[in-house]
Amino acid sequence: MEDAHHHHWTMVERRGTQLWASGRPFIIHGFNTYWLMSFAADQATRLRVTAAIAEAGLNVCCTWAFSDGGYRALQTAPFHYDEDVFRALDFVVSEARRHNMRLILSLCNSWEDYGGKAQYVRWGKEAGLDLTSEDDFFSDPTIKSYYKAFVEAVVTRINTVTNETYKDDPTILAWELINEPHCPSDPSGDTLQAWMEEMASYVKSIDPVHLLEIGIEGFYGPSIPELLPVNPDEYSGHAGTDFIRNHQAPGIDLASIHVYSDIWLPHSIKENHLQFVDKWMQQHIDDAANLLGMPIVVGEFGVSVKDGKFGNEFREDFMKTIYRIFLSSWKEGVIGGGCLLWQLFPEGAEHMDDGYAVIFAKSPSTLSLLANHLRCLEC
């Protein structure tokens, strides 16, 4: 573990395909718990935040630094932010720091949870803009100004607990532009590409120091047609994203992908799922190393056990497959970065389980799998 004395805590930086911190390689062994800020905003659930961070025993957590409109919103309206909720985010960052954990902070959602692009478009319509689709989020100048203002508010925030500006805080490993953006109205990918380039350069203009990732699933797009067959289905190639081209946008530091074969593949033949995972991981690692020259971050991967298709045994096989492939590439010196499980919960948060949650107290075998991966990374 890194030295707990804060003055030794250096930013995580990128050196080619590797991550470094405090003079040595830094590997992400992490998890997602998206609701930390909203739980911290309520005294009754704040202890769950500390538990989530303290009990994980992992080194990075990805969480949502946005909540647009709706209950306990951070952004109550364009250019308006709730100070109490901002203080909840301050608490999350300070707790992570206290437990020597780094954070990847996501700045927006392409889905409707916690507001996201749909909420931005609603705000635009309320302001009288002529918007026809949620995809206008990526092209309308006024909506883009809302997003930029929000990003600036978060990145330049001075933490009320630690008194440190977010953009100077090594607790933050990376910013994520948007969770799983799709823009099917423009399958060429040009609309989303333009948005990513503009926003990456905007984030870097305010915070040139922190690493930046996009948040896409990793679907291949029209820029390299021969890679389209690697996608899980036909739609993926027309979603408006493009793994290679998107990651060539100046300012993007990490090649981030997700792995959800349980959603993407129509069948439940376990061997075929694991074969898909193997190929998906291998192809993206190769491309990150050879075409992009950057670390790979498997930002989300998991298996839902709630619909009866799969159980815990398959979830663990799935996790082992992902860890094994990353580990062998890392040991060969091909790639750095790491993987973040979706998702890991303390007790008392079961009601937030979307089917993917590994709950500490109830999952001893999965926890030992996580601990084993940590040992493999250190040996």
**pTM of the predicted model as reported, rounded to 2 decimal places:** 0.96
Q: How far apart are CA 82 and CA 66, in angstroms?
A: 11
Report yes or no on 4 lying in a domain: no
Report yes or no on 81 lying in a domain: yes
Q: Catalytic residue among 134, 180, 213, 217, which? A: 180
By C-alpha distance, which of 193, 178, 64 is closest to 110? 178
Active site residue 83: no
Q: Is residue 280 within 8 Å of 300, Cβ to Cβ?
A: no
Q: How far apart are CA 11 and CA 209, in angstroms?
A: 8
242: domain CATH number is 3.20.20.80
- Report which residue type is found at 112: E
Q: How far apart are CA 239 and CA 192, in angstroms?
A: 10
| Residue 165 three-state SS | strand
Q: Catalytic residue among 300, 332, 347, 350, which? A: 300
Report yes or no on 258 lying in a domain: yes
By C-alpha distance, which of 102, 105, 106 is closest to 28? 102
pLDDT at 267: 85
Angle at the Cα of 358 from the Cα atoms of 354 and 360, rounded to 5 degrees: 135
Residues 201-242: tens digit of each pLDDT: 999 999 999 999 999 999 999 999 999 999 999 999 999 999
By C-alpha distance, which of 266, 263, 259, 269 is closest to 320? 259
Phi, psi dihedral angles at 30 (to 5 degrees): -135, -175
Report yes or no on 146 lying in a domain: yes
Report yes or no on 2 lying in a domain: no
Task: Give the pLDDT of the chain (379 residues) as one tens digit per residue.
Answer: 443 444 468 999 999 999 999 999 999 999 999 999 999 999 999 999 999 999 888 999 999 999 999 989 999 999 999 999 999 999 999 999 999 999 999 999 999 999 999 999 999 999 999 999 999 999 999 999 999 999 999 999 999 999 999 999 999 999 999 999 999 999 999 999 999 999 999 999 999 999 999 999 999 999 999 999 999 999 999 999 999 999 999 999 999 999 999 999 988 889 999 999 999 999 999 999 999 999 999 999 999 999 888 999 999 999 999 999 999 999 999 999 999 999 999 988 888 999 999 998 888 899 899 999 988 888 7
Report yes or no on 6 lying in a domain: no
- Domain containing 270 equals 13-378
pLDDT at 81: 98
Region of residue 142 (phi > 0: left; psi between -120 and 50: alpha; otherwise: beta): alpha
Q: How many domains does the chain have?
A: 1
Active site residue 112: no
Report yes or no on 43 lying in a domain: yes
Q: Which two tokens stand for residue 328?
A: 């062998």
Q: How far apart are CA 44 and CA 121, in angstroms?
A: 33
Q: Which helix (H) or strand (E) holds 31?
A: strand 27-32
By C-alpha distance, which of 138, 167, 154, 166 is closest to 65? 154
